[in-house]
Structures are given as C-alpha cells and as structure tokens.
Structure 1
Amino acid sequence: MIRTVAYLAAAALASAAAPATAYWEYGHETIAKIGYANASPRARAEVRRLLAHSDLLGTPECKATTIEGASTWADCVKPLKGADGTSRFGYAYTWHFQDVNICAPFSLTEACKDGNCVSAQIERDVKTLRDRHAPMKDRVQALVFLIHFTGDLHQPLHAGEKGDKGGNDVKATYGRYGPPRLNLHSIWDGYLAERAITTGPSLVRRYPAPVRAKLAAGSVTDWSRESWQVARDQTYASALKGDPCAPTPPRVTLDDATIERLVPVARLEVERGGLRLAKLLDRALG
C-alpha cells in the first residue's frame, strides 16, 4: 500500500502543531535508549563501534553517530535523492510496516511476501549483524535499520490496519484537538506516544531481569501478532467505540477518558519495543 503522501502530511502536521517531537522521533529515541540500557555490555560496545563507522552510510544529512540518531536514521533518509534525481532509499519504504488486516485471521504470508515488511527485515538485519565477514557498511546499515524497525513494529498501526493505510485515512479528534489533517495514525505516532512516554517514571532505565525476560519473551512473529492484536483490540476498538471492524465514520474521536485508558497501553508498547531491541542486540552482537 502507498502511504507516502499520508505519512508526509502527518509528519508536517506534527512538526507544525505537535506539543513536542512525535513518535518517529521521540518514540523511536526512547525505544532505542531503553534497548541500549538493557543490552549486554558487549552488545553496547559493538553498537558504539559500529556507529563510529556511520559515515560509511554516505548520509551526512542524517547523522547516526549516537543511538538516538541511529533510531531515526531510516525516516530521515526517506526524502534523499541520488545524482539522477531518484530516491536513494525508496527500496526500503515498505520495510517500515506490514499491512495485516485486523478483521481477518492473523497471517504474515501476504503482508511479508518477498520479505518486504518490517518483521522480515528485523530478522534480516539480525542475520547481517551476526555475520562478522559482512562488509562494515552493510553491518552499520543493518544496525540502524534494526533499531528503527523494532520501534516501528511496536507502533500498532505499523503492524495492523483495515485498508486505511495504517489509520492515515482515518480523520480523528484527540480530546478537544481535531484539525483537518489530524488522523488516527498521527495520534498514535505523536500525541498519545508523547503522553504515554512522559506519564510516570522514566521508561529509560535498567529493568530487572525477570521483567526483561517477561516482556522480551517470544519471537518476532509473536511480537507481530501481539502488536496486530493491540491495533485491533485497542487502537481501532477504542476509535470505533467497541467494534474494531465496524464501518469507519468520516471522523473518529478519542475523548479524554479514552485517552487516559490508552496511555498505559501505549506506554507498554514502548517498553516492549525497548526490551525486545535489547534482546535482538544481544542476539546479534552480544
């Protein structure tokens, strides 16, 4: 599915009107910092060593020398063009999400055919990082993609949708705020993510081993199913007042009570993303 126009519109809205940076910055950076804080010392050292070679990416416009910069690199490079005027990273556009229908049984078969989806790319990146004979540039790029895509997988509307470009086509009101371009995707990317991350104690910390084991359990496919289920049972069910597969009205409203209920849901997704990133970094580099 083509999301480019909707995505850029959402990004423009967020940069112009959001109270602070949106998910594709703030959320990704938070997940990356949680992942780094909970990875093994050896994995952290390897992350630092690889990012010290981030100049090999050839993207001086998009710095990836820190874990925070690495977390947003994959979005930053989207508009970059080569000397011939074509997109340098257009091939990676579909790697940021997977269009799995929330109103059908869960399956990655169609959404991930040919490996062009976020979960398949996460596995690919881990494999590349584990190959110590792979070119340094390939390993650095695999690392920055892995950090970003793990965050993407834990934004529910990157994992499940209902033919609406991951909620980009669903106009929405957030509390009392509802400008024409605001949509369900940008709410989960920005306003709700920011509210969740800044509510309560800092999410960036070293978690106890039992918590890490519990939240990071399972495979990438398991995480995909779980995030898809959050999209169905929380994101769409809340927007459509109970039935996630009911016809979508011209505009949905997340009232204050609904927002309060969704804050811990969104907060848990960020925690899961961070601790699972730590697990993947250990698996690939530890």
Structure 2
Amino acid sequence: MRVTPLIAVAGFLAQHVIAWGTVGHATVAYIASGLMKPETADYCKSVLGDNSSDFIGAIASWADSYRYEPGGGFSSVFHYIDAIDNPPYSCDVDFERDCTEEGCIVSAIMNYTDIQRTQHEPMSLKWIVHFLGDIHQPLHDENYGAGGNNISVLVDGEKWNLHAAWDTAFITKMTGGKDLATAKTFSEMLLTRIKGHGVYAAQARKWFRGSLKDTKAAAMGWATETNDLVCSHVLPQGPIAIEGKELNGTYYQEAVPVLEEQMAKAGWRLAAWLDLIATGSTPLGGAPCKGPKKA
C-alpha cells in the first residue's frame, strides 16, 4: 500500500464532503430494507435497538457526522479509496497502490464486516451501511482533483465542487428534497425498477457477487466497477470541459440515470451483504459482477 504523508492526508480530509448526502445514503438504506430477508431485518433491528421502518434509513449518514466528533477523526480515510489513475484516459483501482496505511473504504468494509460477524455491534453495522453507499459514488473511488473536490462547477447557477455536485446537488435536483421522507419516496420508485418486471429486474440478478470468505474481492469489485464511471460519465472529456461550467444541461441529464442505478445497486448489494452477515445466505445472488482489473 502507498504511504501518504500525514500533512497531505490532513489536507485531503479537510476537502472531502459528505458522500451521497442524507437523501442518497438513506435511499440506499431504504432500498436494502425493502430487499433483505425478514430474518435480516429482525437482526438489524435487534442490533440497532430500533423496531421502526426507519431502522437503517435513520442511521445511514451516521458515519459522516461521527468522523467530526471528538475521537472520530480516524475514520475519515475509511470513506474512500484514492485511485491514482488518469481519467478520462484510464480508470483503475489497485488496492496495494491506492489504499493507504491508515486505511480506505475497502479495508474498512473488510474489517467491520469481520467485527459484525462475531461481535454484532451497532457501530460496525452503521459503518457497513454507510460504506456500502459510499463505495458506489464514483468520486469516492478516485484520487483526481482530491476526488473532484478541487474541480469547481455550477449547478443551476450555484457554485459547487464536482464531488459535492454528485453527492448532493444532483440528488437534490432529482428528488426535490433533502429529508428522510424524500429518500423513502425515492427508494420506493427505485424498488419498482428492481422488482417484478421493472427495468432493472433482469440485470439486478447479476449485481451481487460476494462471499464473506473473500470480502476484499467483493469490495474491490464494487470499487473497480464504480471507478470506471469516472472515465465514462464523471470526467468523460477531462476536467477542462467542465471546470467553472454550468452542469444543468446534458451533463446533468446523463448523470441522472447513473446516480439512480448506482443507488439501486448499492441498496441491492447492501441487502445481500447484510443477509450474509445475519443469516449466512442471500436470495439476491447471481452471475458475477465485474471484478477487479488485472495488471
């Protein structure tokens, strides 16, 4: 793993913003709660001490606030993995190169999954819920421009950095709200696409490839797949094409289906992951999703 100087780490942490925002993270959680096995839901409710329908929606953003609490700063590096690649010409995640000695989102998913399997802790469960959301946001699997934080753009005339635009501005524009009620409504729409004869139904069976015997492979598969979107949709023509530009036109329109599918995938995979932790099996498996690229 590459070693990043502490000064550089501190500077980067200061620039990182909350991933997906409240609506994005809660949407992923509500999708998962609508797909997981009943036994899994009971397990999560018991661990979290919450029997309401919001049992994981309400805690989905907890990890973002915790890292700013006294003693929580150590967890900041767990929200991303810095792929040192060259978008839009090449996108690639390499665990040994990109996960620092302090940790990254892949190592965090590995570690807290192991803890949850044996200790059944509310804190590790909260982290798992959050990090499976984060890893599906393309700029949380990318180093370029500090994960997009150093790329300034406009959304409906308002100044944002590119990372925050994908996390929050676009999702607020898509959904029209910023609260849990908005996330619940939005998740219900995405669930109709996943279930029955919805537009995602056939492909959703291919979204999950994972085993608790190799948590690194599973998490790296998700990170690699998501990082590819940096080249294809986030920076398809490089930063110069969008730096300081208004993104409410074609760029936004092309980002919407990507964001919707990423949240649907994250919810599906979170449900399957928690099924495995809670019960040892999941009905949400299928053909392998894209795995890590080989050197």
Into which bin does the TM-score normalised by the smaller protein fall?
A: 0.7 to 0.9
Following the alignment from structure 1 to structure 2, what is the Cα–Cα distance between the partners of residues 252 and 6? 20
Following the alignment from structure 2 to structure 1, what is the Cα–Cα distance between the partners of residues 276 and 190? 22
Given that 2:157 and 2:246 are in contact with CA atoms closer than 8 Å, whether structure 1 keeps it comes out as no
**Structure-2 change in CA distance of 1:89 and 1:201 (3 Å):** closer
Given that 1:33 and 1:204 are in contact with CA atoms closer than 8 Å, whether structure 2 keeps it comes out as no
Q: Which residue of 1 aligns with 2:79?
A: 96
**Structure-2 change in CA distance of 1:249 and 1:193 (3 Å):** closer
**Structure-2 change in CA distance of 1:255 and 1:69 (3 Å):** closer
| Paired residue secondary structure (1:203) | helix
CA positional deviation for 1:167: 0.7
Following the alignment from structure 2 to structure 1, what is the Cα–Cα distance between the partners of residues 270 and 255? 23
Following the alignment from structure 1 to structure 2, what is the Cα–Cα distance between the partners of residues 200 and 52? 23
Following the alignment from structure 1 to structure 2, what is the Cα–Cα distance between the partners of residues 115 and 204? 36
Following the alignment from structure 2 to structure 1, what is the Cα–Cα distance between the partners of residues 261 and 96? 27
> What are the within-5 Å matches in structure 2 for residues 157-172 of structure 1?
157-162=139-144, 164-172=145-153
| Paired residue secondary structure (1:150) | helix
> What are the within-5 Å matches in structure 2 for residues 193-208 of structure 1?
193-196=171-174, 202-204=189-191, 207-208=195-196
Letter in 2 for 1:223: W
Following the alignment from structure 1 to structure 2, what is the Cα–Cα distance between the partners of residues 250 and 212? 34
Letter in 2 for 1:169: N
Following the alignment from structure 2 to structure 1, what is the Cα–Cα distance between the partners of residues 147 and 135? 12
> What are the within-5 Å matches in structure 2 for residues 204-215 of structure 1?
204=191, 207-208=195-196, 210-215=202-207
CA positional deviation for 1:69: 2.2
Q: Which residue of 1 aligns with 2:290?
A: none
Given that 2:31 and 2:264 are in contact with CA atoms closer than 8 Å, whether structure 1 keeps it comes out as yes
Aligned mate of 2:157, from 177, 186, 194 = 177
Gaps of 5+ in 1: 12-21, 54-64, 82-87
CA positional deviation for 1:278: 0.7
Letter in 1 for 2:244: R
Q: Which residue of 2 aligns with 1:230?
A: 229
CA positional deviation for 1:111: 1.9
Given that 2:81 and 2:99 are in contact with CA atoms closer than 8 Å, whether structure 1 keeps it comes out as yes
Aligned mate of 1:216, from 183, 203, 208 = 208
Q: Which residue of 1 aligns with 2:255?
A: 262
> What are the within-5 Å matches in structure 2 for residues 19-38 of structure 1?
23-38=20-35
Letter in 2 for 1:48: K
TM-score w.r.t. the length of structure 1 is 0.76
TM-score w.r.t. the length of structure 2 is 0.74
Following the alignment from structure 2 to structure 1, what is the Cα–Cα distance between the partners of residues 249 and 158? 13
| Paired residue secondary structure (1:261) | helix
Given that 2:28 and 2:187 are in contact with CA atoms closer than 8 Å, whether structure 1 keeps it comes out as no
CA positional deviation for 1:253: 3.6
Q: Which residue of 1 aligns with 2:132?
A: 150
Given that 1:23 and 1:194 are in contact with CA atoms closer than 8 Å, whether structure 2 keeps it comes out as no
Letter in 2 for 1:140: P
Letter in 2 for 1:67: I
Given that 1:172 and 1:254 are in contact with CA atoms closer than 8 Å, whether structure 2 keeps it comes out as yes
Task: Please state if 1:69 is matched with 2:67.
Answer: no
Given that 1:33 and 1:67 are in contact with CA atoms closer than 8 Å, whether structure 2 keeps it comes out as yes
Following the alignment from structure 1 to structure 2, what is the Cα–Cα distance between the partners of residues 252 and 119? 33
CA positional deviation for 1:232: 2.1
Give RMSD over aligned pairs.
2.7
Given that 1:23 and 1:189 are in contact with CA atoms closer than 8 Å, whether structure 2 keeps it comes out as yes
* Count of equivalent residues: 243
Letter in 2 for 1:69: A
Given that 2:25 and 2:130 are in contact with CA atoms closer than 8 Å, whether structure 1 keeps it comes out as yes
Given that 2:85 and 2:143 are in contact with CA atoms closer than 8 Å, whether structure 1 keeps it comes out as yes
- Residues 209-246 of structure 1, C-alpha deviation per residue, up to 9 Å, x if partnerless? 75542222352211110111112221111xxxx2x3x6
**Structure-2 change in CA distance of 1:260 and 1:201 (3 Å):** farther
Given that 2:84 and 2:98 are in contact with CA atoms closer than 8 Å, whether structure 1 keeps it comes out as no
Following the alignment from structure 2 to structure 1, what is the Cα–Cα distance between the partners of residues 28 and 162? 21
